[in-house]
Chains A and B, each alone.
Chain A
Amino acid sequence: MSLAVAKKGAITSIGPSAWRPAVVAIAILLVLAALPSLVDPYQTVLLTYGLIMAIAALGFNLLLGYTGLLSFGHSAYFGAGAYTVAFIVRDLGAQSMELCIVGGLLGALLISALFGFVCVRHTRIFFGILTLALSQVLWSLAFKFFWVTGGTDGIRVASAKLTLLGGFVNFAGPGSFQRFVFAYYYYVLGLFALATVIMWVIVHSPFGKALQAIRDNETRASFVGISVRRYRWIAFVISGAFTGLAGVLWVPLNGLTTPDILYWPFSGEIVFMTVLGGFRTFTGPIVGAVMFNYLKTYAVASTEYWQLLLGVVLVVLVLALPSGIVGTAARLAARFTRGTS
């Protein structure tokens, strides 16, 4: 895969110590690339959802894990991306997915730059409440402007009409959905790999280190000469753009967008995924997002008490595994290697 090669190149350029994670990442990418021919189409669909949410959680974690800001309003940027795509497809009649991505990213950037400008003036609970309140404003607009947004009915985006790679791949004709699922998986996988590499570069860059300094001690960071508010704002916008990209990719797969993705429980889900995977690690949000997607889907399918089940999982998680799946796994692995050496 050319993407895997590109990824290796990007990571090795960072430093010689990065070769091991790069090998692991390429191995995982190859497994992911082989999966659709091994599992049934439904699993492919689920995994695509999982990868899309992983992009959102990666973006979210730039704020929580690296900058130390807990946003409760990331549904807003996810929804901004999703609704922009829906408007582009419905009102402009566009079919190119690339055009949708550009438009959707612009929409998400605009909203996150605006909301971020307001929110980064505060930290801790005030920051959380501000992000929540602003996202609820978007939700109520989508919900109440029935004649523009379709209210709770949402806006439909038919996958069969879209084209990928500048019109090179289209889905007209019979078996449309099956072909779409197959092709779209690789499309999302490619963008996921790209997004992961970019995020890796960001958090390991001087800018990323500055964010971590702000997280650990705001006063000292400003003494060093870091413009705390500006750095937070930039982190906020990048975070919003990643989550917006996830929203863009999510719409064609889901087939429609509804105000549910702007509502605060959806922000809560993004927080949940990140905590589930572990926000102290780079890969935690990715693992958490994919896992959460399976967890919710199978919980809804298997019991009518699925909300209760998810609640119990969250409580157990916070009490027993505060460092999440990846954090705990890393700790166990470290203990194991210490024991053997």
Chain B
Amino acid sequence: MTQQQLNRRNFLNSLGITVGAAAATSVPAIAPAVAQVARSPKGNIPSTPLKFGHMTFLTGPAAVLGDPSLKGHILAAEEINAQGGILGKRKIETITADENAGTDANVKELRRMKLSEKIDMFTGVISSGNTPALGPVAEELGLLTIFVDGCTDFLWDKAVPNPKFTFRITNIQSADGVTCAVAAAQTWPTAKKIAHIHPDYSYGRNAFDHFMIAYKKMVPGAEVVSEGWPKLGTTDFTAHITKTISSNPDLIMSSVWGGDYVALYKQALRYGMFNNAKFASTIAFGVAPHAIGKDHPEGVIAGVHSNYYFTFPPGNRWPANKTFVEKYFKRWIEYPNFQSDGAYHTLHMYRTAVEKANGLVGGWPDEEAIISQLEGMYFETAAGYLYIRPDNHQGYKDAVTGFSKNVAEYPFQILDPGRMITIPIRNITAPPNWPKPGTSHNDPTSTYNWIKETWPQEVA
């Protein structure tokens, strides 16, 4: 591949990054998907309830990130049931499972849900340690599944390379590290000494890899001066904080999430970790928004897993967001996070697919028909347009991140709506059919290889 040499500003421009509240005006004017399907169902629809399984973190430090997923799911189920159910007949019943039971127990539980409880569909799952275990099981059971998160590239690159029954709605994980790198390179282009603190499992490794490959392309001479790999679910970060500070970095990059992150930032404040270095996180504000106190440092890159933050798009510029946040707040007296958005729209997307399939085949459509409608679907969500790529069943939407800020309207810290960064997803993720790891290369992911091969190298 030819490596053009190019300065950072031109390259960042070529990525189509938008900063600020103006971003949402650039979306195309397409009628909302939900409004297109208000027709009466064809054929005979059984009135038996539809059984859903929803698995998420209900206990443990990850619950501040996972519990909103169930809340989003329940909100959507209640809305659909209030209208008589899917196709006006089939009401949604949900059984839940605690993802905190561990990967092995989760595999067992998924089998129980399908074989014993006879669920029609499975949703949820937060951790990237779990989707690669559960995806093959769902395929094995022939169980229609839309994962809300657990968005590791590994799921489609390796664990389930040709999915039939499994889908995933949140952005692919490599986009998270790359988005963070682009935001950091744009904001602090002189930061060369990078210290890392990541949870020691696939997500942390993925964030580290993709941040570094993208950041080094844009900031020549960038180097890793410290690495900390705390165990997922740890709440004592003292050793990692002191190690990070002693390496005297320009920029600290982290993908610690959920309750772990809340513990990390509170302990880091005591040690003054945010005073002498810039800070960029992929997923700091991924938790339920009220979990972040006003004591959180302002002006840091506080990512939302490159998916969604409830204040953006702001005002009434994207009505789907305004109404979603209002409905969610009315039901739960709190604000949604990106999991709420994912779980809520998972159900609505499923309903839309069933309605479309019903229009084509009549009666209650079988799984093949529903899958055919989910593949390639273009769907309106609170976060913007979501596209389900047919080849890997992965949901793609434009990536988003931002800067932390205290404002008077909210009792917690939020992402500054005036400084949001959005990046068109096609510019930071490998295109369909890019070689998968283990074929013509052995890089961690397709996207990693794609960045390595095609992104221009900025010269000093």
Interface of A toward B, CB cutoff 8 Å: 40-43, 45-46, 49, 143-144, 146, 151-154, 156, 158-160, 176-177, 254-256, 258, 260-261, 296-297, 300-301, 304-307
Contacts and interface: CB of A to CB of B under 8 A. Distances in A.
Given A153-B129, A177-B140, A256-B133, A304 B59 contact: yes
Contacts of B97: 300-301
A43 B101 contact: no
A166 B365 CA distance: 42
B108 A260 contact: no
A256 B112 CA distance: 17
B201 A152 contact: yes
Interface in B265-286: none
Contacts of A297: 105, 108-109, 112
23 contacts: A42-B111, A42-B112, A42-B114, A42-B116, A45-B108, A45-B115, A146-B205, A151-B200, A151-B202, A151-B205, A152-B200, A153-B132, A158-B136, A254-B108, A256-B103, A256-B107, A256-B133, A258-B129, A260-B103, A300-B98, A300-B105, A301-B97, A301-B109
A254 B140 contact: no
Interface in B323-350: none
B201 A151 contact: yes
Contacts of B141: 177
B104 A261 contact: yes
B117 to A, nearest CB: 9
Contacts of B116: 40, 42-43
Residue from the set A153, A158, A258, A307 with the largest chain B CB neighbour count within 10 Å: A153
A153 B109 contact: no
Contacts of A151: 200-202, 205
Interface string B120-138: 0000000011001100110
B129 A152 contact: yes
Interface residues of B, number: 33
Q: What are the 8 closest A-B residue pairs judged by CB atoms, nearest first?
A: A42-B115, A42-B116, A152-B201, A177-B140, A304-B58, A300-B101, A153-B202, A304-B98
Contacts of B200: 143-144, 146, 151-152
Nearest to B200: A151
Given A258-B104, A300-B109, A40 B115 contact: yes
B154 interface: yes
A159 B105 CA distance: 17
Given A300-B97, A304-B98, A254 B132 contact: no
Contacts of A301: 97, 109, 112
B339 to A, nearest CB: 17
B101 A306 contact: yes
Interface in B191-224: 200-202, 205
B17 interface: no
B46 interface: no
Contacts of B205: 146, 151
A198 to B, nearest CB: 27
A149 B444 CA distance: 15
Nearest to A150: B202
A176 B115 CA distance: 15
Contacts of B133: 153-154, 156, 255-256, 258
Contact of B104 (A146, A260, A305, A306): A260
A42 B114 CA distance: 8
Contacts of B202: 151-153
A291 B112 CA distance: 17
Given A41-B115, A43-B116, 7 more contacts: A42-B114, A49-B108, A146-B205, A256-B107, A258-B133, A297-B105, A297-B108
A143 B205 CA distance: 13
